[in-house]
Amino acid sequence: MDTKELLKKVRKIEIKTRRLSDHMFGGEYHSTFKGRGMTFSEVRQYQFGDDVRSIDWNVTARYNEPYIKVFEEERELTLMLLVDISGSEFFGTESQFKNEIVTEIAATLAFSALQNNDKIGLILFSDEIELFIPPKKGKSHVLLIIRELLEFTPSSKKTDIAMVLKYFSNVIKKKAIVFLLSDFITDSYRDTLKIVSGKHDVTGIRVYDKQEEQIPNLGVVQMQDQETGEQFFVNTSSKKVRNHYKTHYLGRADYFLESFKKSGAGTISCRIDESYVKKLLGYFKRRG
């Protein structure tokens, strides 16, 4: 992708997702993810209707009229986006690939955090850490994240979710808001997730294609594993083969839901032909 085409795509993503975050998600994000508490801001004269418990008696005695303490929310938060860029993300039977939807969701979350003056960081992963962008504030930083989401080419096509959770836990020490975006066609991450969720606010966003759920009856066809590159012939006319695939796939989806639930983490499941806008809003409102 040349520079001109990349900038055009970045601008397109920015316009679409920033509009969503400005008009729909900003307030929901703020109310869902609270700051670390309330911090003292100033004192002012008491007004009718103020909570008498907020009266500052020392200042009141000094000026011989009532003054109250004013507090504001301390919002120094960090949003971390952990994004799966393995081979299976480059699949889609509708108008978009899974990775394109993942990019839009990540950008929307990033602009929502930007609106609240939070830091935003990014980890791109496969079965290794492909890229780590430390959390920072500012629009130019968000645009950098979007460019990497659009342009970065992974060195591996496999997936290891436990690995990225361990890496994240090592590099981010303070409590963070974490969105882990993947198709979750893998397992063996439950124990690590439980540890990370004990300290951080974690949400898993599963993006998938409805055609992945089952194999259609097409006779004997040649298939390729997107993550290993292995090619093989599959007799899709066999009901046993189709049922085995469906059971395996649904098992991964169940593992995702059960693992996050037992870890006290949140989940969003979004098919690429569904509105991720409605999914995110519904999740924020349930949590808020």
Question: Which tens digits make up the pLDDT trace of 202-225?
Answer: 999 999 988 777 777 676 676 666
Residue of 199, 181, 25, 38 whose CA lies nearest to 116: 25
pTM over 0.85: no
Mind listing the pLDDT tens digit for each residue in 18-40?
Answer: 777 776 665 677 667 765 555 56
Q: What is the DSSP letter of 183?
A: -
Residue 94 has pLDDT above 60, yes or no: no
Whole-angstrom distance between the N-terminal and C-terminal Cα of the chain?
40
Location of each CATH 3.40.50.410 domain in the chain: 3-32+76-287
Average pLDDT, stretch 173-199? 95
> Would you identify the CATH topology of the domain 3-32+76-287?
Rossmann fold (3.40.50)
d(CA 232, CA 131): 32
